Amino acid sequence: MLAELEQLKARAFSELDVIDNLKHLEEWRLRYLGRKGSLTLVLRGLSGLPLEERRVVGAAANEIKAALEAGLKQKQDSLKEQSLAVALQKSRIDVTLPGYPVNVGRFHPTTQTIREVCAVFASMGFQVIEGPEVEWDYYNFEALNIPRDHPARDMWATLWVEAPEGENPMLLRTHTSPMQIRLMEKTRPPVRAVIPGKTYRYEATDATHESMFYQIEGLAVDRGITMGDLKGTLFEFARRVFGEERRARFRCDYFPFVEPGVEMAIDCWVCRGKGCRLCGNTGWIEILGAGMVHPQVLRRVDYDPDVYSGFAFGVGVERIPMLRYGIEDIRLFYGNDLRFLKQF
């Protein structure tokens, strides 16, 4: 009997060895371990044996059963492993194929620049506010110390808006500076704000001139604000926007609503000051106009110029990406050619 069992075990294992799929494995299991399987029959036949023999054979049969079950388990695992490997092999792909097209939206480069610049000033405690694009002559010129028939008006070729004849003509603001007046009219110092927005000029367009463009105005008024503070603020802006190693300089310039007035330039990063095409051979690139708020402007909004002082500046927005990326035609910005816009 024991010999029979040993034979059975040997046969079972030799059969198991060659099984290579789950179907045959199941047949094998039924053949040996199923309800009518050989081993099950052996165990069932034990009851007819003498007690002593029954014990010996029983133990041997149980041992074999455990061995077969272990073999079955092992085989099952290995077959599963194999079939997974086959499935994986079959589902290999060319990983270089393009994926499903995703629609990527982008901000207009002007938006990106405004956000960046305003964030720089916001971090220095400046509020970000906005104002109207259609303006009164009063805010755009008169209150900014640019009376009618003043030659300085030539600095801002103006698009006038058709409106009933009146003392105060309507126009498209030529700069964001009118917001200096509007802001100071409705608040008291301390004032610290930047004002981004669209501005307009009566100007034939070419690579460097647009009839519509964006500016960011800055204004800070309080007791004790000096040109040193203006330098500190704007030099910091220049470094944050154009690079840590940039040097900046002021030179005297004229804007009717500031006194003293300055224009700020940064050193040319292409030639490092030696002179090149970008900087017009001067080594310096002009980026903005600024100055100390003119006492006449302060008086106009009832700020006492002997008590309060402040500075103002105006930056052309498009000029920043133009310089940064070497864009040579400002008309690309509002021409909205997607081949241009998608590069930013």
Partner 1 sequence: MKVSLNWLRDYVDLAQPVKELADRLTMSGNEVKGVEIVGQTWDNIVVGQIAAVEPHPNADRLTLVTVDLGMERSTVVCGAPNVRVGDKVPFAKVGAYLIDGHTGERVQLKAAKIRGIVSEGMACSEKELGISDSHEGLMILPAEAPVGVPLADYLGDAVLDMDITPNRPDCLSVIGIAREVAALTRKEARVPAVHYDEEGPPIEQKVSVEIVDADLCRRYCASLIEGVKIGDSPPWIQQRLLACGMRPINNVVDITNYVMLEYGQPLHAFDFGQIGGGKIIVRRASEGERITSLDGVDRTLTSDMLVIADSVIPVAIAGVMGGADSEVIGITRSILLESANFNPASIRRTSMNLKLRSEASLRFERGISPELTLRALRRATQLILELGGGTAARGVIDVYPGRRDPRRIQFPLWQVKRLLGIEMKMDQVSEILGSLGFECRPQGPSEVEVTVPYWRVDVSEAADLVEELARIVGYDYIPTTTMSGPLPGPQFDPQVTVREKLREFMVGCGFQEVISYSLVSLERLAVAGPVKEALRVANPLSREQEYLRTSLWPSLLAVLGSNQRHEEGGIRLFEIGKAYLRRGDDLPEEREVLGGVVSGPRSGVSWLGPQGWLDFFDIKGVVDALLDRLGIEADFRPVEKETLHPGRAAEVVVGDEVIGLMGEVHPRLVESLDLLPQTVAIFELEIPKLASRAGLGRGYRPLSRFPESDRDIAVVVDTEVPAKKVMDIIKGFPLVTRVTLFDVYTGAQIPPGKKSLAFRVVYQSTTHTLTDEEIQGLERDIVARLSQETGAVLRSR
**Active site amino acids:** 156, 175, 201, 215, 258, 312
Cβ proximity to partner 1, 167 vs 302, nearer residue: 167
Among partner 1, Zn ion, none, partner that 187 touches (CB below 5 to 8 angstroms by kind): partner 1
Among partner 1, Zn ion, none, partner that 271 touches (CB below 5 to 8 angstroms by kind): Zn ion
Whole-number minimum distance, CB 277 to partner 1, in Å? Answer: 15
Site string for Zn ion, 230-269 (x = CB under 5 A): --------------------------------------x-
What radius of gyration do the chain's Cα atoms show?
43
Cβ proximity to Zn ion, 8 vs 266, nearer residue: 266
Tell which one of 25, 212, 270, 341 touches Zn ion (CB under 5 A): 270
CB burial of 215-234 (b: ≥16 within 10 Å; e: otherwise) equals bbbbbbbbeebeeebbbebb
Report DSSP letters for 232-296, one per residue.
HHHHHHHHHHH-TT--EEEEE---TTEEEEEEEEEE-TTTTTS--TTTTTSSEEEEEEEEEEPHH
Task: Name the amino acid, one letter, at 312.
Answer: A
Cβ proximity to partner 1, 15 vs 286, nearer residue: 286
Cβ proximity to partner 1, 37 vs 256, nearer residue: 256
- Site residue total, Zn ion (CB under 5 A): 6
Q: Which stretch binds Zn ion (CB under 5 A): 172-180, 210-218, 222-230, 271-279?
A: 271-279
Among residue numbers 276 through 295, which ones bind Zn ion (CB under 5 A)?
Answer: 276, 278-279
Q: Find residue 199's DSSP bridge partners.
A: 213
Counting Cβ atoms within 10 Å, is residue 283 exposed (0-12), middle (13-18) or buried (19+)?
middle
Taking the C-alpha atoms of residue 185 and residue 341, their distance in angstroms, rounded to an integer, is 39
Taking the C-alpha atoms of residue 244 and residue 240, their distance in angstroms, rounded to an integer, is 6
Whole-number minimum distance, CB 342 to partner 1, in Å? Answer: 7
Among Zn ion, partner 1, none, partner that 268 touches (CB below 5 to 8 angstroms by kind): Zn ion
Residue nearest Zn ion by beta-carbon distance:
268
Name, in order, each residue with C-beta under 8 angstroms of 248's C-beta and a sequence gap of 6 or more: 234, 235, 238, 239, 264, 265, 266, 267
Residues that bind Zn ion in the complex, under the rule CB under 5 A: 268, 270-271, 276, 278-279
